[in-house]
Amino acid sequence: MSNIRLVAVDEDGTFLRDHLNYDRERFEAIFSRMQRLGVRFVVATGNQCYQVQELFPSHAHEMGIVSANGAHVLDGMQEVFAAQATPEAVEHMIQAIHEHPEVPFSMLGVAGAYVERSASQEFFDDMAQYCYRQYWVDDFADVDDQIFMFSSVVDESVVQQKIALFSNVVRGHMDVIGAGAGYFDVVCPGVSKATGLRYLLDRWNIRPEECVAFGDSDNDIAMLSMVGRSYAMQNAPQNVKDAAQFVAPPCTEDGVLQVLEQLL
């Protein structure tokens, strides 16, 4: 693939060695080369856009952000797209959460993320790593925001069971997708990192075949399947590797940066 015009990377388990940690000096050299070559850089993540902006403080204004699994898309600091779950879908999901209090959730919208006070401080703190604007609320039903996603984390031994449970509960209203390491998200129907990335491709007049993408989880598969050159991380499960064309070194070895140094 000689004509690369865009690079899209997932964060946790892909670009990052561990949460919030990457070789910033090495990335700066690669980013400078991308700018000289006219190659766009996009972070495509299940995390909140405000977290991405803090993680890349020097470049947030000049990169693309596909956050909340494609539900919130920014070109630099300008919002391009924000999904909106129907009032019926939100009501249905809140009812399901109250019926299954053993599964805590963070509810995400344009203005912030929200956790009910019935959840533990440990859960709030865990979610706060990915949602930098997160607030305690008494009841999700009282929140006035444009809601587009719910996120949870449970023990990995039961995550598939909980995904199946909520998939059955919200079928026809929202979609449930795994995010790896016990995390899973409930998203607006048809919304994915691929659909979010498509907004930026159309805006920048870039074709999917001119893109390179990296990922490690189920929520990356649609994006990996749409681009011209796709990499699953060595630490990714087999189904993600099967969806990609190539396997990159693991995130703990800066696999994304290794590949980009060879490609660019």
The residues carrying an active-site annotation are: 10
Distance between CA atoms of residues 94 and 85, nearest Å: 12
Check residue 233 and give left, alpha or beta (phi > 0: left; psi -120 to 50: alpha): beta
C-alpha 122 chain-centroid distance: 21
Interior angle at CA 18, CA 60 and CA 186, nearest 5: 70
User: Do residues 66 and 82 touch, judged by C-beta distance below 8 A?
Assistant: no
Neighbours of 245 (CB within 10 A): 16
Q: Which of 45, 12, 51 is nearest to 187 (CA)?
A: 45
Write a three-state SS string for 119-165: CCHHHHHHHHCCCCCEEEECCHHHCCCCEEEEEEECCCCCHHHHHHH
Distance between CA atoms of residues 174 and 230, nearest Å: 27
